[in-house]
Amino acid sequence: MGVSKTFLSILVLYFSLYTITPTSSASVQDQFINCLHKNTHVYFPLENTFFAPAKNVSMYSQVLESTAQNLRYLTKSMPKPGFIFKPVHESHVQASIICSKKLGIHFRIRSGGHDYEGLSYVSEIEKPFVVMDLSKLRQININIKDNSAWVQSGATVGELYYRIAEKSRVHGFPAGLCSSLGVGGHITGGAYGSMMRKYGLGADNVLDAKIVDANGKILDRKAMGEDTFWAIRGGAGGSFGVILAWKIKLVPVPKTVTVFTVTKTLEQDVGNKILSKWQVVADKLVNELFIRVIFNVAANNGSKTVTTSYNSVFLGNKRALMQVMKKSFPELGLTAKDCLEMSWLESIVYISGFSSRTPTTVLLQGKSPFPKNNFKAKSDFVKKPIPELGLKGMFKKLLKEDMPMMIWNPYGGMMAKIPESQIPFPHRKGVIFKIQYVTNWPESDRRTSRHINWIRDLYSYMTPYVSSNPRQAYVNYRDLDLGKNKINASVKQAQSWGASYFKDNFNRLVKVKSKVDPENFFRHEQSIPTLSVRR
């Protein structure tokens, strides 16, 4: 593509040495900046939009690290972007695509930076690369009258929820639980939260979208066509174009919702009676009730135990909740004292993990309540309850790791009603719950492979108890263990992870990709491959 061989090799040399030779570094950026100027009429102040190591290393690192969630992808040995560009106008995104293409620069798109494998700020397969960070495109326009909103990709879900609640106490949106998630990457991968059993995923509630395609054109739903509109609602980020904004459908929420968290140790749940009952009822409870189970390891009288926390949001008041629980899940022993009534917005703060009474304005700060760590995660879908013997072995494994966590997330309700092929997200009828496995370790702990081996071993142990053929996985819990593209991967090479994330929808995603981006301009370690490559 358009750039001379010598120029490219200078570029490669510069970035592979990762030492700063001002002349060559300046030339890459200068060419890019010149090209941007030629392709947009909207001014961008360089000092606020361009971040490069040669310009100011500390500023550059600060911007790179700002929203990056996984410290494992920020270590010294990880490849770093040549520069970071933060568009302040939609036309800058268009110009970035035109110019990257022209200059042969590989770029990654970042909205909220929560990608589990750092794909929005690290490329392990292509050098050099740059990052286009959409954090300055974060406008939110709520239209209560027609139950909709336009939200730009760089906004967080926390901001979105806050802005909705500012306009109305009885409107909400059913997306992620963690308030710092970026709307751009999150919704395009599915986006589940505590209202999924009532209303489905964020991606199930999208009405329209604005994207920039591989030619630098802005397209809305009508202009992109129904195939592409289908693909971007669940087909995950970085394959089809840059999402600029979503038009979402707001959903009704009651004025008062109720939350609770009840924690049991292994010793308090003798014979796994409570956990076993949860596995039977979790997907069959009324759709207004979402009870997930969070597993942690905790100190217990000088030894260790596993705690199971039943963490819940109910779309209704305390009295109604107590009635439901008495009838459907008395084993938990929920009491009125365990329950807190609050607004839907306050329940977001609660379920995000902030301590109670944290003001809701925290949702505007793009912060997570937890410190950043190194982490590795994986996911599974469960279709029949895991027997006690299986649970026993699982607990044994958990007790072997320093900071393990598991989250079991109930399905059923609306999730079971939406057909598998409605959007690319295929995990619907028949799923009782999803498992997320996580292991965290602090920055100072260098035993990376020990922790990764631990989670792989647990995953292997769980094989008989979870979905198979394919073993399903959630694409927003990106897991490169499932497979990694080489540059210009073939469909065959991508089939294994493609089937896990999308089941049969993978084939349709490949068709859409081949049509809208035949040159594979938008690519990363697990981007949807095109049909044109045959190997």
> Quick one: 53 or 238, whose CB is closer to ligand FAD?
238
Between CA 77 and CA 63 the distance in angstroms is 18
**Residue carrying structure tokens 């890019």:** 32
520 binds, among ligand NAG, ligand FAD, none (CB under 5 to 8 A by kind): ligand NAG
Is residue 79 near ligand FAD by the rule CB under 6 A? no
**DSSP-derived pairing of the beta strands 84-85 and 129-133:** parallel
Q: Which residues pair with 335 in a beta bridge?
A: none
Give the torsion through C-alpha atoms of 256, 258, 259, 262, to 10 deg: 170
What binding mask, one character per residue, do residues 445-484 give for ligand NAG by CB under 6 A, x or -? ----------------------------------------
Considering only residues 28 through 47, tell me which ones interact with ligand NAG, judged by CB under 6 A.
none
Interface residue with ligand NAG, options 279, 360, 520, 527 (CB under 6 A): 520
Interface residue with ligand NAG, options 39, 148, 488, 507 (CB under 6 A): 488
Rounded least distance, CB 131 to ligand FAD, Å: 9
CB-based contact 101:132 (threshold 8 Å): no
| Among 73, 121, 459, 477, the one annotated catalytic | 477
> Quick one: 56 or 468, whose CB is closer to ligand NAG?
56
CA–centroid distance for 339 within its chain: 29
Cβ-based neighbours of 274, under 8 Å, separated by 6 or more:
264, 308, 310, 331, 332
Phi, psi of 303, deg, nearest 5: -120, -165
**DSSP-derived pairing of the beta strands 50-51 and 84-85:** antiparallel
Is residue 303 near ligand NAG by the rule CB under 6 A? no
Between CA 463 and CA 16 the distance in angstroms is 40
62 binds, among ligand FAD, ligand NAG, none (CB under 5 to 8 A by kind): ligand NAG
The kind and range of the H/E element at 491 are helix 491-502
Count Cβ atoms below 10 Å from residue 259 Cβ, excluding itself.
23
CB-based contact 386:461 (threshold 8 Å): no
Interface residue with ligand FAD, options 162, 192, 502, 506 (CB under 6 A): 192
Interface residue with ligand NAG, options 4, 77, 301, 469 (CB under 6 A): 301
Is residue 65 near ligand NAG by the rule CB under 6 A? no
> Quick one: 92 or 318, whose CB is closer to ligand FAD?
92
> Quick one: 178 or 315, whose CB is closer to ligand FAD?
178
> What string of DSSP letters covers 217-253?
-EE-HHHH-HHHHHHHTTS-SSSS-EEEEEEEE-EE-
Count of residues that bind ligand NAG according to CB under 6 A: 9
Interface residue with ligand FAD, options 242, 274, 438, 528 (CB under 6 A): 242
> Quick one: 128 or 174, whose CB is closer to ligand NAG?
128
75 binds, among ligand NAG, ligand FAD, none (CB under 5 to 8 A by kind): none
- Using alpha carbons only, give the angle 51, 55, 60 rounded to the nearest 5 degrees: 40
Between CA 209 and CA 211 the distance in angstroms is 6
> Quick one: 134 or 142, whose CB is closer to ligand FAD?
134
State which amino acid sits at residue 176. Answer: G
Count Cβ atoms below 10 Å from residue 429 Cβ, excluding itself.
13
> Quick one: 110 or 138, whose CB is closer to ligand FAD?
110
Count of residues that bind ligand FAD according to CB under 6 A: 35
347 binds, among ligand NAG, ligand FAD, none (CB under 5 to 8 A by kind): none
Q: What angle in degrees, to the nearest 10, is found between the helix axes of 273-281 and 388-398?
A: 110
Is residue 53 near ligand FAD by the rule CB under 6 A? no
Omega into 470 within 30° of 0, i.e. cis? yes
Is 477 known to be catalytic?
yes
CB-based contact 169:137 (threshold 8 Å): no
Rounded alpha-carbon distances, angstroms, from residue 91 to 44, 359, 363, 502: 11, 36, 28, 32
Only one of the segments 185-193, 305-313, 488-496, 502-510 lies at the binding site for ligand FAD (rule: CB under 6 A); that segment is: 185-193
Rounded alpha-carbon distances, angstroms, from residue 212 to 216, 225, 522: 6, 13, 11
The closest residue (CB) to ligand FAD is: 237
181 binds, among ligand FAD, ligand NAG, none (CB under 5 to 8 A by kind): ligand FAD
What binding mask, one character per residue, do residues 101-140 give for ligand FAD by CB under 6 A, x or -? -------xxxxxxxxx--xx-------------x------
**Residue carrying structure tokens 């997907």:** 283
Is residue 66 near ligand NAG by the rule CB under 6 A? no
Between CA 10 and CA 54 the distance in angstroms is 16
72 binds, among ligand NAG, ligand FAD, none (CB under 5 to 8 A by kind): none
Tokens representing 399? 């007790």
Is residue 473 near ligand FAD by the rule CB under 6 A? no
Is residue 498 near ligand FAD by the rule CB under 6 A? no
Rounded alpha-carbon distances, angstroms, from residue 32 to 29, 72, 85, 93, 277: 5, 30, 10, 13, 59
**Active site residue ranges:** 477
Residues interacting with ligand NAG, by CB under 6 A?
56, 58-59, 62, 301, 487-488, 519-520
Residues interacting with ligand FAD, by CB under 6 A?
69, 108-116, 119-120, 134, 153, 176-178, 181-182, 184-186, 188-193, 237-238, 242-243, 368, 476, 524
